[in-house]
A and B are shown apart, each in its own frame.
Chain A
Amino acid sequence: MSSRKQPKGKIRPPKKPNSADAQFNDNWDRLAQAIREIHKKNASILSFEELYRNAYNMVLHKNGDKLYNGVREVITQHLEEVAVSQVVPAFPLSGASSSQTNPNGAGGANFLKVLKTVWEDHTTCMLMIRDILMYMDRVYAKTANVPLVYDLGLDLFRDTIVRSQNYPIQNHLLEVLLQQIKLERENEIIDRTNVKASIDMLLELTDASTKDTVYATDFENKFLETSSEYYRVEGQMLVGEYDAPEYMKKVDKRLNEEEQRVRHYLSQTTEPKIRNIVEEELISKHLKTVIEMENSGLIPMLRNEKMDDLGRMYKLFGRVVKGHDEMKSAISDYIRELGKAINETVTSNTTAEGGNAASGDKQTGATVAVRWVQEVLDLKDKFDKVQNLALSNDKAFQTSFNEAFEYFINKNSKSPEFISLFIDDNLKKGLKGKTEEEVDSVLDKTITLFRFIGEKDVFERYYKQHLAKRLLLGRSVSDDAERGMIGKLKVECGYQFTTKLEGMFNDMRISSDTMTDFKEYLDKSVLEKPKLDLSVTVLTSTFWPMNLSASPRCNLPPELTKACGTFQNFYLGRHSGRRLTWQSNMGTADIRGSFKARKHELNVSTYQMVILLMFNDKQDGESLSYEQIKGESDIPEADLKRNLQSLACAKYKILVKEPKGKEINPGDQFNFNNDFTAPLQRIKIQTVASKVESEGERKETREKVEEARKHQTEAAIVRIMKDRKTMEHNLLIAEVVKQLQSRFMPNPALIKKRIEALIEREYLERATGDRRVYNYLA
């Protein structure tokens, strides 16, 4: 066959020349030569059938091992040659000079290109060698338990080229790859195909000991290390140079780039690892710094409602473990801070107002409350928006926001009162401009605030007071709106919470029926008709927030007393066993007053009527002193002052006070103002209806609430013990807290006191053996 060239392989001369050996040598010479031709890309002159048959014969004659080893040697030899002649000359200049002379890594790129060609040649050749040695693969390799010839080729390539012992190919390869990637990170254009070819090569080669790819054993770790270092430096640089939104955009871009890079020319297995590195170096390490950036961090973003930036931050920080926690706590702190500011403006306003409270303009109290609620609502709106637009309605964030709101709302001890006042304001003011839908939506929002209140029982008390005033003075927008509100409260707190409120409505309805009946009764009766129209509302005392025992005394004019008597007879005649108590402080009256200019119809409170009627008996110009009025009318002092104030110091001055001034003081003299003029025929004298309570009243309300809590706590304890019969102290406390927390947060000391009280009254006893266990005594 080949006369041009002697076989180069180390083929041992036959020891015992016989026909089989001769046959073997002949076969092998042909094959070795053919493989060389294949390496020279001269395969077209070869005959597949013949070579196959040669290999077949060798294996058939038990020379498979020789064939296999021979092939290995030929290939190794070839690869050694390739290394020397092609790969080594292509080494990029190493050291610092390379980066200077080849700033674009051209040398490296060229090296990769050569390597790519070498690799491609090798694989093509190996495919052909595999073809002709197919029989060996199938028959010999399997039984001898050696790798198939193609895999053998890969292993040889790995050991002779990629991890060559003789030449620093491996170092150069890794260095060049990393350099190329670095260049690309710095926005240079690199030839990705060459890089990809090398990476694919490394991926196809298997490390003998770990059975992992050479990519994983040799390249990946180095790559990750370098990346880690690269991003550590970049992170520090970026944090120093850019503001938060800009920084996050950069990080976002880096993450995308790395993902792209992996997709284009690295292994998918690297994706999570490099992502972790970028996340760690660019996000985790700088979390706090970015959040706290002075003019661009999280708080300024919130302040300026930068939804895009917030959204980006949410997405980016969500990638790392602590990210969302840090964000949450930062936002919560911010909410608390804002909430604190709102609380502070309110308190500073109320104290400022407290100074001139006595001067009468108590309306500001209500405005403060309304403003407080409105500000809280605005804040809530703002964060709802953030939640919606930037945080994809993340539940965890919602919870922490809610906690923050709850925290500062409950910091303001007046919040239950304020919220109730706010509702009061809306249900009254509905008449003034707002549509019913608007009011409804405002109330809906208010309910969300109500949810945050810890002391729901305090709220209930205020709400009852305000509702009572609205109902009795006929000042609510509509029954529908009121019922709607109660419905909402019912949804929030259940049936128990609203029964009394509903009871109040019922009383109103029944009373109006009663009044119709009363009128009929008067028409039919032979009794002397009262000189005035009396309208009575009968209230169930337990539903309404009135204090029966402290029922305010007041000397009513005889006509009124008589009319009341008539009604009382009528009412008690229909319902036996009931007791009527007159609440004269809640009533209103229409009276006609003659002034010099004209007659006016005055709508006044009962007390004001009583005061004005006193002047009926007086001569013009005759005055009454404060003490006289007080003595004659017997109106409680606080009420008297307030009513005198509204008569003498408010918009319509029916009375003239001497000396003039806004305060009512003992010793003041009052005159009927004959010169009073007003454009309207009918005048409503405003008594200040709803307002922030004064300190004293607040204390009283507190006490009432505390009293109510005692009862509720005892009731809860008894309920639980009746059910369980016997229970351990801590468990009992926990259960009581659980039952009551929808209304208020009972403190354990209170519960403990109540338990003691119940033991004293022999509802419970301590167990004889264990003093921490209680038994229920039926």
Chain B
Amino acid sequence: LQEVANDFEKLLVNDEDCNVIIYVGENENMKEIHAHSCILRIRSQYFHTALSKKWSEKKDGKFIFRKPNILPHLFDMIIRFIYCGRIDLEQLQGPEILKLLVAVDELRIQTLIDHIQEY
């Protein structure tokens, strides 16, 4: 299982066959994150809906998605959790963690909410 998690993390780094581009943050802080729609959709109801036919915005065969109200580095942690199911909360300060919790709550990733609250 550990191995699977590692390999999935590699997917995120390589951005092989990516079909989702997420623009996170606002203005100068904006960051572009590449991901795979199938993984996002299977891991989160939020993304499942957002990337569904009804709502999705596509460009050059890729989903374009904007998430301005979440800080890029936090979103990065979230998406890593989505891919490999683990998160290192040690590197965050108290207020940062609260922000993360808020973001996760918005995205309703229940396992992660529980994890952070426990922490």
Residues from chain A with Cβ under 8 Å of B54 in the complex: 43, 127-128, 131
Residue of B nearest to A56 (CB): B106
Residues from chain B with Cβ under 8 Å of A450 in the complex: none
Residue of A nearest to B65 (CB): A49
Residue of B nearest to A50 (CB): B66
Query: Which among B42-50, B75-83, B92-100 touches the partner chain?
Result: B42-50
Interface presence of A346 (CB below 8 A)? no
Residue pair B108, A131 in contact (C-beta under 8 Å): no
Interface presence of B73 (CB below 8 A)? no
Contact of A48 among B45, B50, B106 (CB under 8 A): B50
Residues from chain B with Cβ under 8 Å of A43 in the complex: 54-55
Question: What CA separation (Å) do A53 and B69 show in the bound complex?
Answer: 9
Residues from chain A with Cβ under 8 Å of B69 in the complex: 53
Residue pair A131, B66 in contact (C-beta under 8 Å): no
Interface presence of B10 (CB below 8 A)? no
Chain B, range 36-95, C-beta contacts under 8 Å to A: 45-46, 49-50, 52, 54-57, 65-67, 69
The smallest beta-carbon distance between B94 and chain A, in angstroms, is: 20
Residue pair A48, B108 in contact (C-beta under 8 Å): no
Question: What CA separation (Å) do A165 and B61 show in the bound complex?
Answer: 49
Residue of B nearest to A134 (CB): B49
Residue pair A131, B106 in contact (C-beta under 8 Å): no
Chain A, range 19-52, C-beta contacts under 8 Å to B: 43, 46-49, 52
The smallest beta-carbon distance between B48 and chain A, in angstroms, is: 9
Known A-B contacts A131-B55, A134-B45; the reply to A52 vs B108 at CB < 8 A is no
The smallest beta-carbon distance between B76 and chain A, in angstroms, is: 18
Question: What CA separation (Å) do A128 and B65 show in the bound complex?
Answer: 17
Question: What CA separation (Å) do A49 and B64 show in the bound complex?
Answer: 11
Residue pair A53, B49 in contact (C-beta under 8 Å): no
Residues from chain A with Cβ under 8 Å of B108 in the complex: 134-135, 138
Residue pair B66, A49 in contact (C-beta under 8 Å): yes
Question: What CA separation (Å) do A46 and B54 show in the bound complex?
Answer: 10
Residue of A nearest to B66 (CB): A49
Q: Is the interface of A mostly helix, strand, loop or mixed?
A: helix
The smallest beta-carbon distance between B62 and chain A, in angstroms, is: 16
Residue pair A131, B67 in contact (C-beta under 8 Å): no
Residues from chain B with Cβ under 8 Å of A46 in the complex: 55
Q: Is the interface of B mostly helix, strand, loop or mixed?
A: mixed
Residues from chain A with Cβ under 8 Å of B50 in the complex: 48-49, 52
Residues from chain B with Cβ under 8 Å of A131 in the complex: 49, 52, 54-55
Residues from chain B with Cβ under 8 Å of A48 in the complex: 49-50, 55-56
Residue of B nearest to A138 (CB): B108
Residues from chain B with Cβ under 8 Å of A138 in the complex: 108
Known A-B contacts A43-B54, A135-B106, A135-B108; the reply to A49 vs B67 at CB < 8 A is yes
**What 1/0 flags go to A127-152 for Cβ under 8 Å of B?**
11001001100100000000000000
Question: What CA separation (Å) do A138 and B106 show in the bound complex?
Answer: 10
Residues from chain A with Cβ under 8 Å of B106 in the complex: 53, 56, 135
The smallest beta-carbon distance between B78 and chain A, in angstroms, is: 15
Residues from chain A with Cβ under 8 Å of B49 in the complex: 48, 131, 134
The smallest beta-carbon distance between B49 and chain A, in angstroms, is: 5
Question: What CA separation (Å) do A53 and B107 show in the bound complex?
Answer: 10
Question: What CA separation (Å) do A52 and B66 show in the bound complex?
Answer: 12
Residues from chain B with Cβ under 8 Å of A53 in the complex: 69, 106
Residues from chain B with Cβ under 8 Å of A135 in the complex: 106, 108
Contact of A134 among B46, B57, B65, B66 (CB under 8 A): B46
Question: What CA separation (Å) do A63 and B39 show in the bound complex?
Answer: 33
Question: What CA separation (Å) do A135 and B106 show in the bound complex?
Answer: 7
Question: What CA separation (Å) do A228 and B56 show in the bound complex?
Answer: 52
Question: What CA separation (Å) do A29 and B56 show in the bound complex?
Answer: 22
Residues from chain A with Cβ under 8 Å of B67 in the complex: 49
Question: What CA separation (Å) do A56 and B107 show in the bound complex?
Answer: 10
Residues from chain A with Cβ under 8 Å of B66 in the complex: 47, 49
Give the most central of A47, A48, A52: most B CB within 10 Å.
A48
Residue of B nearest to A124 (CB): B54
Residue of A nearest to B67 (CB): A49
Question: What CA separation (Å) do A53 and B67 show in the bound complex?
Answer: 9
The smallest beta-carbon distance between B82 and chain A, in angstroms, is: 16
Residues from chain B with Cβ under 8 Å of A134 in the complex: 45-46, 49, 108
Residues from chain A with Cβ under 8 Å of B65 in the complex: 49
Question: What CA separation (Å) do A138 and B55 show in the bound complex?
Answer: 19
Chain B, range 4-61, C-beta contacts under 8 Å to A: 45-46, 49-50, 52, 54-57
Question: What CA separation (Å) do A291 and B106 show in the bound complex?
Answer: 74
Residues from chain B with Cβ under 8 Å of A47 in the complex: 57, 66
The smallest beta-carbon distance between A56 and chain B, in angstroms, is: 5
Question: What CA separation (Å) do A48 and B56 show in the bound complex?
Answer: 8
Question: What CA separation (Å) do A53 and B52 show in the bound complex?
Answer: 17
Question: What CA separation (Å) do A47 and B50 show in the bound complex?
Answer: 9
**What 1/0 flags go to A91-128 for Cβ under 8 Å of B?**
00000000000000000000000000000000000011
**What 1/0 flags go to A571-584 for Cβ under 8 Å of B?**
00000000000000
Question: What CA separation (Å) do A145 and B99 show in the bound complex?
Answer: 28
Question: What CA separation (Å) do A49 and B54 show in the bound complex?
Answer: 12
Question: What CA separation (Å) do A48 and B52 show in the bound complex?
Answer: 10
Question: What CA separation (Å) do A127 and B49 show in the bound complex?
Answer: 10
Question: What CA separation (Å) do A135 and B105 show in the bound complex?
Answer: 9
The smallest beta-carbon distance between B69 and chain A, in angstroms, is: 6
Residues from chain B with Cβ under 8 Å of A127 in the complex: 54
Residue of A nearest to B102 (CB): A60
Residue of A nearest to B57 (CB): A47
The smallest beta-carbon distance between B50 and chain A, in angstroms, is: 5
Residue of A nearest to B54 (CB): A128
The smallest beta-carbon distance between A293 and chain B, in angstroms, is: 63
Question: What CA separation (Å) do A128 and B67 show in the bound complex?
Answer: 19
Give the most central of B45, B52, B54, B108: most A CB within 10 Å.
B54
Question: What CA separation (Å) do A49 and B103 show in the bound complex?
Answer: 13
Residues from chain B with Cβ under 8 Å of A49 in the complex: 50, 65-67
Question: What CA separation (Å) do A47 and B68 show in the bound complex?
Answer: 12
Residues from chain A with Cβ under 8 Å of B56 in the complex: 48
**What 1/0 flags go to A274-311 for Cβ under 8 Å of B?**
00000000000000000000000000000000000000
Residues from chain A with Cβ under 8 Å of B55 in the complex: 43, 46, 48, 128, 131
The smallest beta-carbon distance between B54 and chain A, in angstroms, is: 6
Question: What CA separation (Å) do A46 and B49 show in the bound complex?
Answer: 14
Question: What CA separation (Å) do A403 and B52 show in the bound complex?
Answer: 73
The smallest beta-carbon distance between B67 and chain A, in angstroms, is: 6
The smallest beta-carbon distance between A349 and chain B, in angstroms, is: 92
Question: What CA separation (Å) do A8 and B110 show in the bound complex?
Answer: 37
Question: What CA separation (Å) do A48 and B45 show in the bound complex?
Answer: 13
- Please name 25 pairs of A and B residues whose Cβ atoms are closer than 8 Å in the assembled complex, sorted by A: A43-B54, A43-B55, A46-B55, A47-B57, A47-B66, A48-B49, A48-B50, A48-B56, A49-B50, A49-B66, A49-B67, A53-B69, A53-B106, A127-B54, A128-B54, A128-B55, A131-B49, A131-B52, A131-B54, A131-B55, A134-B46, A134-B49, A134-B108, A135-B108, A138-B108
* Leading 6 A-B pairs by shortest Cβ distance: A48-B55, A131-B49, A48-B50, A56-B106, A128-B54, A49-B66
Given A48-B49, A48-B56; 7 other pairs, CB 8 A cutoff:
A43-B54, A47-B57, A49-B50, A49-B67, A53-B69, A128-B55, A135-B108
